[in-house]
Amino acid sequence: MVYFKNQEEYILLDIYNLDTDETVLNRLAARLNTLYKYLYFPAGIPTIQGMLKSNSEDAIQVMNILYMIKSAYEELPQIEIKNKFI
């Protein structure tokens, strides 16, 4: 079992014998409702060996960049654009 921490939420994933680094990270992205390319790991992209060493006290930090972008966009004041062309 691998522990990931996304802000205040802990995510627990199982590691299977046929898993690769990419399959685990794709499952993590699916749990966060995003794609793997939008995941950011402050300590660097983890490997399966590093993942297996994690526990609840030192969970692997992960950030969903797409969620952050969407949240920032929703907080911006919406500017009404008027068409000035004929």
**Tens of pLDDT along the chain (86 residues)?**
899 998 878 999 999 999 999 999 999 999 999 999 999 999 999 999 988 888 878 899 999 988 888 877 766 666 555 555 54
State residue 80's pLDDT score: 58
Radius of gyration of the chain (CA): 18
Question: What contacts 24+ positions apart, CB below 8 Å, involve 38-44?
Answer: 38/64, 38/65, 38/66, 39/63, 39/64, 39/65, 40/64, 40/65
State residue 44's pLDDT score: 93
State residue 37's pLDDT score: 93
* Three-class DSSP category at 64: strand
Q: Which domains does the chain have, with CATH numbers?
A: 2-75 (3.10.20)
